[in-house]
Structure 1
Amino acid sequence: MLRTAFTDTFGVAHPIVQGGMQWVGTADLVSAVANAGALGFITALTQPTPEALVTEINRCRDMTDRPFGVNLTILPAITPPPYDEYRHAIADAGVTIVETAGSSPEPHMPFFRDRGIKVIHKCTSVRHAVKAQGVGVDAVSIDGFECAGHPGEDDIPGLVLIPAARAQLTIPMLASGGFADARGLVAALALGADGITMGTRFLCTQESPVHPHVKDRMVKATERDTQLIFRQLHNTARVARNAVSEEAAEILSRGGAFEDVRHLVNGARGRSVYETGDTDAGIWTAGMVQGLINDIPRVEELVDRIVREAALLIADTLGALVAPRVTS
């Protein structure tokens, strides 16, 4: 058992979080994470309507009696989803933990605070983490450059970002990006984090609602098999390297605009990768950490292994490095 400020604040057994993942954060995976003693998040916008989100929350509640939350990623769009309706659906369904991402959580804090909902905000820089703390979030999850999805534009890896953020934060902090095993958890704790968030690692588990071919591809992949796209658009995303990502990157590198790659990177094609197992059907996210993934365990097995090995690593391996103090 590893007890941290995060486990105390959010009432979970282990300092491990499954962050929101589009098309992946469903009740099947989230309930398995919760039952393993970690904290999982249903991805709100994976559900097509607020009503569907409530149904998914209830489905998850039927499968676990332990804490879980909902991820609400808020991004600018020409025709945005009905964010307020999703927010009300989360509260009305009795969810008490929310992970926000994308835009600042500030406009949403009074709503969540008035309803006793704890908020974890996901960010990619120290300045954004400090701002989130200032507007009253209960914890932050800070993504290093290694992460899947959007790593921000500063390119700061976790080894620097985590202790830099810790130096300016007083609330619980999760380290995200590049974590898959006990070594990563222990390193994160040593750097000042109170736990870790894993996305790519949880995607590659038995309960993840993703085609087995995708999981097999991730097991075979190395840390070099990701690609950064949208750099020229200042909206960098790290995705699995495949024929589609390489074509999109090439078009943008020649000065292409988003409209020139829209047909390659639309969400429907990405979703089809997970559903059909055709890993060249579209863009799909993966972090560098896939180079550390070599099996497809059940979630309970994975969480237990990480926590058990982390405790041994701290107590035995690292403890043995400390020479006894000699007194005269």
Structure 2
Amino acid sequence: MLSTRFTRAFGVEHPIVQGGMMWVGRAELVAAVANSGALGFITALTQPTPEDLVKEVQRCRSLTDKPFGVNLTILPSINPPPYAEYRQAIVESGVKIVETAGFNPADHLPFFKDAGIQVIHKCTSVRHAIKAERIGVDAVSIDGFECAGHPGEDDVPALILIPAAVNHLTIPVVASGGIADARGLVAALALGADGVNMGTRFMCTAESPVAQQVKEQIVANTERDTELIFRSLRNTARVARNEVSREVVAKEKEGCDFTEIAHLVAGARGRKVFEDGDLDAGIWTTGQCQGLINDIPTVDELVSRMVSEAEALISRRLAEMVAEPVGAGVPR
């Protein structure tokens, strides 16, 4: 068993997290993650109203008796959702772990802390991670440039970002971006992280509530089949390469403003991809780690495989490399 500061602090068996994903972080997936011994997050804003979020938490509790959390992502929006009402729904639902992402969560922290809720904040830079620790979060999830969704504007890959964050923080660090298997888990632990966060890999599981066509496309895709949109707007997002994302990138190269692409990137169109399986209906998020994904297992199969293979890597392959005498096998 891989016991880390993260597993001990958050009361889970394995140092593996399924972070919040819009339209994906629903009860059936989160409960499967919890039952596997990992930590899953319901995505608050996937639910139409705060009242629906409370019901989704209750539905998840009917499927698992193990710890799970709720993600609250705070991002620029044409019509901002009622964040305070979603926050109150989280508190009233009795959830004890929250993942925040996007903007600084300082305005929400006092409410969560007063309710005895632990907060993991997702960051894309060391400077933001340091600030998150300073304002009182319990752990940081650090997102490398390889990730799906918003990687920030610094373009620092996980191999650099993870140890750089660890060098500056005293709270647990969860590595995110580019991780899809045991090798990524072991590498993250070697870099100083206390656990890993996976989005794309959990999206491509049997319990994931997205259309089968999406899962099969992730398996078929390589690490090169993503696009970076909104670069010209300083709000970069990594999404799957399809007709819509290519059009967005082309328009940005021509010097468009947001109003000229708003109809292409509307959230309702991305939701249609996940629900109907129409892969060119809109933009949809996926990370470069899709190039490492070759199957659609159950969540339990995925987590069990990752943990067992990680333990084997640590106790056998790496241990054997360390134990091998210098110059062994070299003729004198």
- 1:102 matched residue in structure 2: 102
Q: How does 1:157-306 map to 2 (within 5 A)?
A: 157-306=157-306
Q: Describe the superposition over 1:56-88 as per-residue Cα deviations: whole angstroms up to 9, x where unpaired.
A: 000000000000000000123343111111111
Q: Distance in 2 between matches of 1:16 and 1:77?
A: 30
Relative to structure 1, the CA distance from residue 305 to residue 206 in structure 2 (aligned partners, 3 Å threshold; closer, same or farther) is same
- 1:141 matched residue in structure 2: 141
Displaced runs of 4+ in structure 1, greater than 4 A? Answer: none
Q: Distance in 2 between matches of 1:277 and 1:66?
A: 31
Deviation at 1:242, TM superposition (A): 0.3
Q: Distance in 1 between matches of 2:100 and 2:120?
A: 6
Q: Describe the superposition over 1:97-145 as per-residue Cα deviations: whole angstroms up to 9, x where unpaired.
A: 0000011111111111111000000000000000000001000000000
- 1:85 matched residue in structure 2: 85
- 2:127 matched residue in structure 1: 127
Partner secondary structure for residue 66 of structure 2: coil
Q: Distance in 1 between matches of 2:212 and 2:76?
A: 33
- 2:27 matched residue in structure 1: 27
Matched, 1:118 2:118: yes
Amino acid at match of 1:140: V
Q: Distance in 1 between matches of 2:325 and 2:199?
A: 42
Amino acid at match of 1:84: A
Deviation at 1:21, TM superposition (A): 0.1
Q: Describe the superposition over 1:264-296 as per-residue Cα deviations: whole angstroms up to 9, x where unpaired.
A: 110010000011111111100000000000000
Deviation at 1:306, TM superposition (A): 0.1
> TM-score, structure 2 length as denominator?
0.97
- 2:329 matched residue in structure 1: none
Q: Distance in 2 between matches of 1:74 and 1:126?
A: 19
Partner secondary structure for residue 188 of structure 1: helix
Deviation at 1:323, TM superposition (A): 3.0
Partner secondary structure for residue 87 of structure 2: helix
Amino acid at match of 1:38: A
Structure 2, unmatched stretches of 5+, are 327-332
Q: Describe the superposition over 1:9-49 as per-residue Cα deviations: whole angstroms up to 9, x where unpaired.
A: 00000000000000000001000000000000000000000
Aligned residues: CA RMSD? 0.9
% of aligned pairs identical?
70
Q: Distance in 1 between matches of 2:6 and 2:105?
A: 19
Partner secondary structure for residue 98 of structure 1: strand
Q: Distance in 2 between matches of 1:325 and 1:133?
A: 42
Partner secondary structure for residue 62 of structure 2: helix
Relative to structure 1, the CA distance from residue 254 to residue 306 in structure 2 (aligned partners, 3 Å threshold; closer, same or farther) is same
Amino acid at match of 1:73: T
Aligned length: 326
Matched, 1:61 2:61: yes
Partner secondary structure for residue 107 of structure 2: helix
Q: Distance in 2 between matches of 1:325 and 1:171?
A: 37
Partner secondary structure for residue 263 of structure 1: coil
Partner secondary structure for residue 235 of structure 2: coil
Partner secondary structure for residue 323 of structure 2: coil
Partner secondary structure for residue 17 of structure 2: strand
